[in-house]
């Protein structure tokens, strides 16, 4: 009985070290999988694909959206542009929000919270952080003064150079409101500071 037990321990030690070796030999290879049916489901799941899907083009379980379609609530939002495509965004994206006082006021409030520490209340790059951070451009000088709205939207979402992305802090609608306000600063037009009791919405980070 004891012998059997010993044998069992030895066998499992050998199996275990064998599995470790297999697992470590190649980082891309998950190694020997024990009862894979337990974690690879038989149905074609969209987010976990093991085998090529023979029914869909490209072999993927997930299908790309049909060309020209826009997901609900995503009108005017660039889902398919990579982070380096600010110039393309500048041509393709238009602000879906109406330019009115409320949107501008909300844009100003959000700008004050998220951008002015670096870019300054006047958009001159002289915020308290901007003075130390260096390289924060003025909105109303040179190339930046003529950046189109889609470009600014893209920079807020994905960042640019030394500026980090703000996509996780402000949702798409809030970004477009900020864009509206930044465009006002590009023209050197700085309205009175936002009222403390502004009706601007709180920030709900979504995508
Ligand atoms: C931590 C500091 C910081 C914050 C906060 C910040 N920026 Fe910037 N921003 C920069 C710097 C630095 C650059 C220059 C980036 C570069 O070219 O390397 C820049 C560049 C830009 C540009 C010009 C992009 C281009 O194509 O040249 C725009 C537009 C801009 N920021 C908008 C915003 C907006 C809107 C916000 C708020 C949502 C914001 N930034 C928040 C530091 C900041």
> What pLDDT shows up at residue 187?
85
Q: Is the CB of 137 under 6 A from ligand 1?
A: yes
For the Cβ of 182 lying below 6 angstroms from any atom of ligand 1, the answer is yes
Q: Read off the pLDDT of each residue in 170-199 and give the average, rounded to a whole number.
A: 78
d(CA 185, CA 202): 22
**Given this model, what pLDDT does residue 197 score?**
45
Give CA–CA dist 47/41, Å, rounded. 11
Q: Indicate the pLDDT class of residue 27, thresholds 50, 70 and 90.
A: low
The answer to whether 83 and 147 are in contact (CB under 8 A) is no
Percentage, residues of the chain above pLDDT 90: 45
> Where does the pLDDT of residue 163 fall: very low under 50, low under 70, confident under 90, or very high at 90 and above?
very high
Nearest CA to ligand 1 atom 12: 136
Region 51-78 average pLDDT: 80
Question: What percent of the chain has pLDDT above 70?
Answer: 74
The torsion angles phi and psi of 37, rounded to 5 degrees, stand at: -60, -25
Report the pLDDT value the prediction gives residue 196, as an integer from 0 to 100.
45
Ligand 1 lined by 144 (C-beta under 6 Å): yes
Higher pLDDT, 110 or 73: 110
In this structure, are residues 125 and 118 in contact, taking their beta carbons and an 8 Å threshold? yes
Distance CA 103, CA 116 (A): 18
Q: How confident is the model at residue 199 (pLDDT cuts 50, 70, 90)?
A: very low
Give residue 192's pLDDT band: very low, low, confident or very high (50, 70, 90).
low
Distance from C-alpha of 55 to C-alpha of 18, rounded to nearest angstrom: 37
Cβ–ligand 1 distance for 125 under 6 Å, the answer no
pLDDT tier at 45, thresholds 50, 70, 90: confident
Give the span between the Cα atoms of 157 and 96, in whole angstroms. Answer: 16
Query: Cα(144) to centroid of ligand 1, in Å?
Result: 10
Alpha carbons within 13 A on the beta-carbon side of 10: 6
The pLDDT confidence band at residue 182, using thresholds 50, 70 and 90, is very high
What is the mean pLDDT of the segment spanning 174-203? 73
Q: What is the pLDDT of residues 82-101, one digit of tens each?
A: 888 999 999 988 998 999 99
Q: Ligand 1 within 6 A of 114 CB?
A: yes
Alpha-carbon dihedral sign for residues 198, 201, 204, 207: negative
Do 198 and 109 touch, CB atoms closer than 8 A?
yes
Average pLDDT, whole number, for the chain?
Answer: 81
Residue 24 CA to residue 142 CA, distance in Å, equals 54
Confidence of residue 206 (pLDDT cuts 50, 70, 90): very low
At 73 the pLDDT is 60
> Is 156 near ligand 1, meaning CB less than 6 Å away?
yes
CA distance 149 to 168: 19
Lookup: tokens for 116: 């002015």
Nearest CA to ligand 1 atom 25: 144
For ligand 1, atom 37: residue with the closest CA: 115
Which residue's CA is the closest to the ligand 1 atom numbered 41?
A: 115
In sequence order, what are the residues at sequence separation of 6 or more whose Cβ sits closer than 8 angstroms to the Cβ of residue 154? 78, 81, 85, 86, 89, 90, 93
């Amino acid at each position: 009985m004891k012998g059997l037990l010993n044998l069992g321990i030895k066998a499992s030690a050998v199996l275990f070290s064998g599995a470790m070796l297999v697992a470590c030999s190649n980082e891309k290879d998950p190694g020997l999988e024990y009862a894979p049916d337990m974690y690879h489901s038989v149905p074609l799941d969209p987010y976990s694909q093991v085998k090529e899907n023979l029914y869909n083009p490209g072999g993927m379980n997930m299908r790309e959206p049909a060309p020209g379609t826009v997901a609900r609530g995503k009108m005017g939002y660039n889902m398919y542009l990579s982070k380096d495509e600010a110039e393309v965004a500048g041509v393709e994206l238009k602000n879906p929000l109406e330019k009115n006082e409320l949107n501008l006021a909300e844009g100003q409030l959000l700008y004050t919270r998220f951008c002015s520490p670096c870019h300054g209340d006047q958009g001159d790059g002289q915020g308290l952080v901007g003075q130390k951070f260096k390289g924060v451009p003025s909105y109303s000088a040179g190339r930046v003064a003529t950046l189109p709205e889609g470009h600014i939207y893209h920079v807020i979402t994905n960042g640019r150079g030394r500026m980090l992305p703000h996509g996780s802090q402000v949702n798409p609608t809030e970004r477009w409101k900020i864009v509206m306000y930044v465009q006002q600063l590009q023209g050197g037009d700085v309205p009175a500071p936002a009222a403390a009791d502004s009706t601007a919405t709180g920030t709900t980070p979504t995508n």
